[in-house]
Chains A and B, each alone.
Chain A
Amino acid sequence: MDLVFLADTFVTLLGGVPLLLQLTAISVSVGAVLAVLLALMRLSGNPLLDYPARGYVFVFRGTPLLVQIFLIYYGLGQFPEIRQSVAWPFLRQPYWCAMLALTLNTTAYATEIIRGGILSVPFGQIEAARACGMSRLLIFRRIILPQGLRTALPAYGNEIILMTRATALASVITLMEVTGIASKLVSETFRAIEVFACAGAIYLIINFLISRAIALAERRLSPQLAAPPAAPEPAR
């Protein structure tokens, strides 16, 4: 095994990590905000709000992310109206297209996760808040959202990890994140196995760190679930 080559490859591939983290962080955070809105639309009980949100989730979860990326990157340019609009300087760039596709995609999955979290808040809590005279907005902000998000956190952690994996698809529209750099290296060196294994190791490390961070956040947010402190030794 050629350790020098592996080390060189690893360092070169690390150059793609900032872009990978950027794509993940921005799409996940914007997606989270949109997902809360869509989850509220789903739960509003108003069919005019519920059905569009349902349709959105159905379409974005039912089609492959790569199709969505191609639709935005290659597809939108078909229309002169879009090519002449103010959005074109952004939609022309693969970076913003990938960001948009990732955001819209994660929004759909996160909507269902957050909806599940909100539904898990016991009705008694909401009833009690109403009895105290809280307004709907205050109930949502103080009672429903904090508890709902806490329940949703483990599933949301999975979604964040799925998103770091999904950023690899941005390489297909020429973005040079880790997988993009890896493909370029392979076409230069023809050493596919070593290079792609190195890239895989980078994703594993990132996802390991993310899952540890989520576990830590879970423990912080749900101290009541932590193991009770060990009983002190009985006095002799």
Chain B
Amino acid sequence: MGYFELMGFGPKGWGLLLAQATLMTIAVSVTAFAIGAVLGGLLAWARLAGGRGIGIAAETYVTVLRGIPDLLVIYLLYFGGSSVLTSVMRWLGNDGFVGVNAFAAGAIAVGIISAAYQSEVYRGAFGAVAKGEIEAARAVGMGRMLMFRRILAPQILRFAIPGLGNVWQLALKESALISVVGLTEILRQAQVGAGSTRQPFVFFITAALLYLLLSTVSGWGFNRAEAAAMRGVRRA
């Protein structure tokens, strides 16, 4: 069987399964990235505006999550979560092992790692917003919420786009690790295909190509977004 027949959409082809797996990779990465955006925003806010204790707590979070392996975080959430869930169910009178959902555990794990990186990006972007803008907003009597919504958030997002592009690529690649807890995304599907056809090289190369495709297309998208967001900024 030729390569294109094997990876095609015919009766013996793996095309449809790999396409579904690619959608799963996109879904889990986007979910993780969104979790990271919310949590990362809160962390950045805690470090910029929170009291000393909150600031130190947020800083510790970032240091810890950037210092331990991503695989360990996924294991911790999946197996740790399962053991917590099992004991809760036992307490409720339901014996037997209860596993957490691989998608949820994986998305949360990659999301909380992404949050650590995203908080640094947002913090840097906040530093790039001209101080005069904030003073001017205060001077015209804007409330804190209004100032955040109209002045800070749009400009922070604008300056954060290049950094967020990098963090997104990280999340996309980390999503491959969720295959170890059994989520059928690209890498897991490639492993299944490799096992049943005994052509591991062909399947893993295809997986690599799919990741390259995703990272190239999204990198191009981020470049477009950056160009659009920066169109009003004068540059040397």
Question: Contact at A76–B201, with CB atoms within 8 Å?
Answer: yes
Q: List chain B residues, Cβ under 8 A from A166.
A: 69
Q: Give the A-B contact count at a CB cut-off of 8 A.
A: 120
The stretch from B2-10, B142-150, B174-182 touching chain A is B174-182
B76 contacts chain A at the CB level, 8 A cutoff: yes
A78 contacts chain B at the CB level, 8 A cutoff: yes
- The size class of the interface chain A forms with chain B is 35 or more
A63 contacts chain B at the CB level, 8 A cutoff: yes
Residue from B175, B180, B198, B211 in contact with A172 in the complex, judged by beta carbons closer than 8 Å = B180
Q: List chain B residues, Cβ under 8 A from A25.
A: none
Q: List chain A residues, Cβ under 8 A from B216.
A: 62
B155 contacts chain A at the CB level, 8 A cutoff: no
Question: Contact at A204–B67, with CB atoms within 8 Å?
Answer: yes
Residue from B76, B173, B176, B200 in contact with A192 in the complex, judged by beta carbons closer than 8 Å = B76
B140 contacts chain A at the CB level, 8 A cutoff: no
A12 contacts chain B at the CB level, 8 A cutoff: no
- List the B residue with the shortest CB-CB distance to A71: B204
Residue from A62, A79, A168, A192 in contact with B69 in the complex, judged by beta carbons closer than 8 Å = A168
The stretch from A89-97, A142-150, A179-187, A219-227 touching chain B is A179-187
Count of residues in B whose CB is under 8 Å from the partner chain: 41
Question: Contact at A74–B204, with CB atoms within 8 Å?
Answer: yes
B70 contacts chain A at the CB level, 8 A cutoff: yes
Q: List chain A residues, Cβ under 8 A from B63.
A: 204
- Complexed CA–CA distance, A12 and B48 (Å): 40
Contact with A along B59-89 (1 / 0, CB 8 A): 0000110111111100110011011100000
Contact with A along B103-143 (1 / 0, CB 8 A): 00000000000000000000000000000000000000000
- Complexed CA–CA distance, A79 and B173 (Å): 27
- Complexed CA–CA distance, A165 and B70 (Å): 7
Residue from B187, B198, B202 in contact with A66 in the complex, judged by beta carbons closer than 8 Å = B187
Question: Contact at A67–B79, with CB atoms within 8 Å?
Answer: no
Q: List chain B residues, Cβ under 8 A from A77.
A: 200
CB distance from B220 to the nearest CB of A (A): 12
- List the B residue with the shortest CB-CB distance to A66: B176
A230 contacts chain B at the CB level, 8 A cutoff: no
Q: List chain A residues, Cβ under 8 A from B200.
A: 70, 74-75, 77-78
Return the 4 tightest CB-CB contacts between A and B, nearest first: A168-B69, A192-B79, A64-B176, A75-B201
